[in-house]
Amino acid sequence: MNRSEIARYARALRERLEGHRLAGWEPPLAAERIAPDLPAHTDHVQASPVTSSAPAETPRESGSSEKTLELLRGEVAGCSRCRLHEGRAQAVFGVGDPNARLMFVGEGPGSEEDRQGEPFVGPAGQLLDKIIVAMGLRRADVYIANVVKCRPPNNRNPRSDEMEACRGYLDQQIGRVAPEVIVALGTVAARALVGGELSMGKMRGRFHHYGEVPVMPTYHPAYLLRTPSEKRKVWEDIQQVMARLELGPDESPRSA
């Protein structure tokens, strides 16, 4: 390793550690914070036998994802499939790289998201941004969406009929983005993607599947704002995602 490579690695490592500090994460061992290379395999991960009933996706045409998603966004903007449209300021579709390797899925928009029309822009979204930075990525490198596209009243959990009415939109988003990994943020999103009635405590820490796509359930950023002691568990889950994507502090988000 020559001097320029050492300098580039040191700079990337400092940025990663700063992301950890901002997010408030402190892994159990100092070595885990500064390990330059996460394992490229996931032999330690127990794959879940639970799979979704999502249909097999047809291969997307190169360069078509962005156009298709924009057409779908227009459809969602005028959607009235369920009662949630009655109280929305606007539908909240999705945001990010239409060809992202990593996708985050939450349960539904909150008040700030309803006002701005973009997912995860409130306090929970700011924490999600810190998580993404700690992975060595930017918000623009990933794709972010929700199970339902309109804000439930008083930020309650979306109901089963509401999620069912909106499910086709999420399936199409996943199909067009075709991520290599999905992170399900919160119990509602995790159950919607992988099925079952397990608690988050039972689901997190191992990969499940949506069709052929690995899904890592983890705690919602809003929950972490109320329970910061659980941030370490989320970081453990995120480290498994990074290992699956072979993301390290000296790698670009698209080259891994």
The answer to whether residue 212 scores a pLDDT higher than 80 is yes
104-136 pLDDT tens trace = 999 999 999 999 999 999 999 999 999 999 999
Query: Which DSSP state fits 55?
Result: P
Are 169 and 149 within 8 A, CB to CB? yes
26-54 pLDDT tens trace = 443 333 332 333 233 333 333 333 334 44
Average pLDDT over residues 55-70: 65
Are 143 and 132 within 8 A, CB to CB? no
The answer to whether residue 11 scores a pLDDT higher than 90 is no
Are 182 and 210 within 8 A, CB to CB? yes
Partners of residue 123 on adjacent β-strands = none
Q: Which range is least confidently modeled, 2-11, 159-168, 223-232?
A: 2-11
Name the superfamily (CATH) of residues 64-245. Uracil-DNA glycosylase-like domain (3.40.470.10)
